[in-house]
Amino acid sequence: MKELLKSVEVLTAEELARSYEKFPKFNSPHEGWAVMLEESNEHTEDCGEIDGLMMAFWEHVKSNDCEAQNKTALLVKESAIHAAAEAIQVAAMAQKYIDSFGDDTP
């Protein structure tokens, strides 16, 4: 897990750098909050998608439908990767907020 967390830190720094290529620091705490909220909401939606897929996956397991199990497992994987990317964006935007205001929050 330690290595994975280090990798996520690197990915977060890379995402932060990409965000600076497109947009400057936040203009206000309100803007920073709104951007973080948007990314957080997208992450939450992805997690909800995973929950729904896991319920469907369980039904496929109970019915011994191996083909549906494999298809659903692939969808779970794809959704989990997307959720992880959204979580990285939340972390990057939190760092951007800190960079923008630090201890100087108006």
Predicted local distance difference test score (pLDDT) of residue 102: 85
Predicted local distance difference test score (pLDDT) of residue 94: 97
- Helix or strand or coil: residue 23? coil
Alpha helices by DSSP H, listed for 23-65, are 29-62
- Rounded CA separation 24/89 (Å): 16
What pLDDT tens digit does each residue of the chain (106 aa) get? Answer: 999 999 999 999 999 999 999 999 999 999 999 999 999 999 999 999 999 999 999 999 999 999 999 999 999 999 999 999 999 999 999 999 999 998 765 5
Predicted local distance difference test score (pLDDT) of residue 61: 97
For residue 94, CA distances in Å to 24, 31, 38, 82 come to 14, 12, 12, 18
Predicted local distance difference test score (pLDDT) of residue 103: 73
> Which of 60, 38, 41 is CA-nearest to residue 49?
41
Predicted local distance difference test score (pLDDT) of residue 8: 97
